[in-house]
């Protein structure tokens, strides 16, 4: 079902939808036949929602596919993550909260070490610290290019972001990172005629960077990759008819939400702060994306017990969300981050959908195995959640007579 089809059925309504995303929610048991993190957690409020709602497991991108945070969120927002791909430069910009404009081209960069012949001897410049990085970015930021603004931002350690801003730029430029030591940095090449100007400007930038970094060993050169333009995607208000707000403490998620036209609300670091932000802005939006990050971090760290505790903390916040009286409330994760894997996983993700009229299923508990028997099925494509939320909010009209 494509976005155009859903868009053709949108009708106005006063209803409110909350999508709570517990990042990395899905898990795995620590021992055979043991519980997952979510199953081990004591979650009376989520269980109550599960009992009153309809449950299932969603597949973020496709069977067996482990998603990054960008694709997995886009799926939850109803955008097919295989069709709507974010360039890596754009992802890097979002990751540090850089507010990309439609005329921008972004690339990821590494400081690196080159020898006297100009060959790369260390692609990470001896892993310089962020402080050194910031000092060197200041040096690069002063480079001037004709008719183009240059932004150079520290990401972390040896990593940086380059953004060029001006008319007629294109992200269709090849990487300069040779991906190996012993080779020279590559010349940026246009992959299509429209990128010729951009490739030439990047070449000028790198030539100037080489001069200015010459005495900054080990960080005496820069490698660039993942050139990308800010994508021009349909906004949520256009396709789904909702004024949408993102409540997320981390820059990456705020940036992603802005790409599809959400308003990224100012909020604090903690989940409690985020719920307070939700309460404060309740009247101004129809759709709220509430992102709770640290559950994923516990999974990445392989810390089963901490992941359990953070899920329990999220559970205690749900009554505050319910007291706002949303018409539709969905709780899920963007992907699985089983602490046993210490990384994102491909496993389907528990999802519960509650509304005033929802057809409840027999599931009484919010957990991976309980959700397998739910009415949403054990392999719901993530992109189906958005039209289901809109339907439960009575925001989709009848198709055909």
Which residues of this protein are in contact with its own copies, per CB under 8 A? 1, 5, 9, 28-29, 32-33, 36, 52, 56-57, 61-71, 81-82, 85-86, 88, 91, 338, 340-341, 343-344, 346-348, 357, 359-362, 368-369, 372-380, 384, 387-392, 396-401
Please state the separation of Cα 20 from the chain's center in Å. Answer: 14
**Strands lying side by side in the sheet with 54-59:** 263-264, 244-247, 287-292, 17-22, 328-332, 349-355, 54-59, 380-381
Cβ nearer to its own copies, comparing 314 with 380: 380
Minimum Å gap between C-beta 378 and its own copies is 5
Tell me whether residue 113 or residue 175 sits nearer to its own copies (CB atom): 175
Q: How far is the CB of 122 from its own copies (least distance, A)?
A: 23
Least separation in angstroms between CB 321 and its own copies: 19
Nearest to 352 by CA among 144, 83, 29, 43: 43
**Residue 192, CA distances (Å) to 87, 170, 195, 200, 207 in order:** 16, 9, 6, 13, 22
**C-alpha to C-alpha distances, 153 to 70, 110, 143, nearest whole angstrom:** 21, 11, 13
Least separation in angstroms between CB 231 and its own copies: 13
Q: Which is nearer to its own copies, 29 or 234 (CB)?
A: 29
Q: Which is nearer to its own copies, 132 or 355 (CB)?
A: 355
- Alpha-carbon Rg of the chain, whole angstroms? 23
Given a contact cutoff of 8 angstroms between Cβ atoms, the answer to whether 72 and 61 are in contact is yes
- Please, what is the minimum distance in Å from the beta carbon of residue 52 to its own copies? 7
Of residues 175 and 368, the one with the C-beta less far from its own copies? 368
In the three-class reduction of DSSP (H, G, I as helix; E, B as strand; rest coil), residue 5 is classed as helix
Sequence-distant (6+) residues with CB within 8 A of 131 are none
How far apart, in whole angstroms, are the C-alpha atoms of residue 206 and residue 324?
A: 53
Q: How far is the CB of 208 from its own copies (least distance, A)?
A: 29
Please state the closest distance from residue 193 (CB atom) to its own copies, in A.
Answer: 25
Token pair, residue 113, equals: 């070490």
In the bound state with its own copies, the residue whose beta carbon lies nearer, of 51 and 143, is: 51
184: nearest Cα among 206, 216, 217, 199: 206
Q: Which helix (H) or strand (E) holds 226?
A: strand 221-229
Which is nearest to 329 in space by CA: 338, 337, 317?
317
Report in angstroms how near the CB of residue 71 gets to its own copies at its nearest: 4
Q: Which is nearer to its own copies, 151 or 346 (CB)?
A: 346
Asked if residues 295 and 307 have their Cβ atoms less than 8 Å apart, the reply is yes
Query: Smaller CB distance to its own copies: residue 65 or 200?
Result: 65
Please list the residues that pair with 105 across neighbouring strands: 164, 229
**Shortest Cβ 343–its own copies spacing (Å):** 8
Q: Which is nearer to its own copies, 144 or 359 (CB)?
A: 359
Answer whether 36's CB lies under 8 Å from 368's CB. Answer: yes
Tokens of 364: 């009484």
């Amino acid at each position: 079902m494509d976005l155009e089809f859903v868009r053709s059925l949108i009708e106005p309504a006063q209803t409110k939808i909350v999508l709570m995303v517990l990042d990395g929610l899905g898990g795995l048991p620590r021992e055979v036949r043991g519980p997952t993190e979510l199953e081990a957690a004591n979650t009376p409020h989520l269980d109550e929602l599960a009992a009153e709602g309809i449950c299932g497991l969603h597949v973020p991108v496709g069977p067996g596919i482990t998603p990054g945070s960008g694709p997995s969120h886009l799926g939850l927002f109803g955008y097919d993550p295989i069709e709507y791909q974010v360039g890596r430069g754009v992802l890097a910009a979002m990751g540090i909260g850089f507010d990309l404009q439609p005329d921008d081209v972004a690339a990821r960069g590494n400081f690196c070490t080159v020898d006297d012949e100009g060959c790369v001897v260390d692609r990470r410049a001896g892993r310089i610290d962020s402080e050194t990085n910031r000092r060197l970015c200041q040096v690069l930021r002063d480079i001037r290019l004709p008719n183009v603004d240059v932004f150079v931002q520290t990401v972390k350690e040896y990593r940086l972001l380059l953004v060029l801003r001006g008319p007629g730029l294109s992200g269709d430029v090849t990487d300069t990172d040779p991906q190996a030591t012993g080779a020279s940095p590559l010349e940026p090449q246009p992959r299509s005629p429209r990128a010729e100007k951009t490739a030439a400007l990047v070449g000028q930038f790198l030539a100037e960077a080489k001069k200015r970094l010459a005495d900054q060993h080990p960080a005496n050169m820069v490698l660039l990759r993942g050139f990308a333009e800010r994508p021009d995607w349909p906004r949520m208000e256009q396709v789904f008819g909702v004024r949408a707000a993102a409540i997320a403490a981390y820059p990456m998620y705020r940036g992603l939400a802005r790409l599809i036209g959400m308003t990224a609300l100012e909020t604090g670091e903690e989940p409690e702060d985020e719920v307070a932000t939700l309460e404060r802005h309740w009247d101004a939006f129809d759709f709220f994306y509430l992102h709770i990050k640290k559950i994923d971090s516990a999974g990445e760290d392989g810390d089963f017990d901490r992941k359990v505790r953070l899920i329990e903390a999220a559970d205690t916040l749900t009554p505050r969300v319910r007291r706002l009286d949303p018409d539709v409330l969905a709780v899920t994760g963007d992907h699985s981050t089983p602490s046993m894997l210490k990384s994102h996983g491909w496993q389907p993700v528990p999802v519960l959908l509650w509304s005033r009229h929802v057809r409840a299923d027999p599931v009484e508990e919010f957990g991976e195995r309980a959700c397998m028997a739910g009415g949403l099925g054990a392999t719901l494509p993530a992109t189906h959640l958005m039209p289901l939320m809109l339907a439960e909010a009575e925001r989709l009209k009848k198709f055909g007579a």
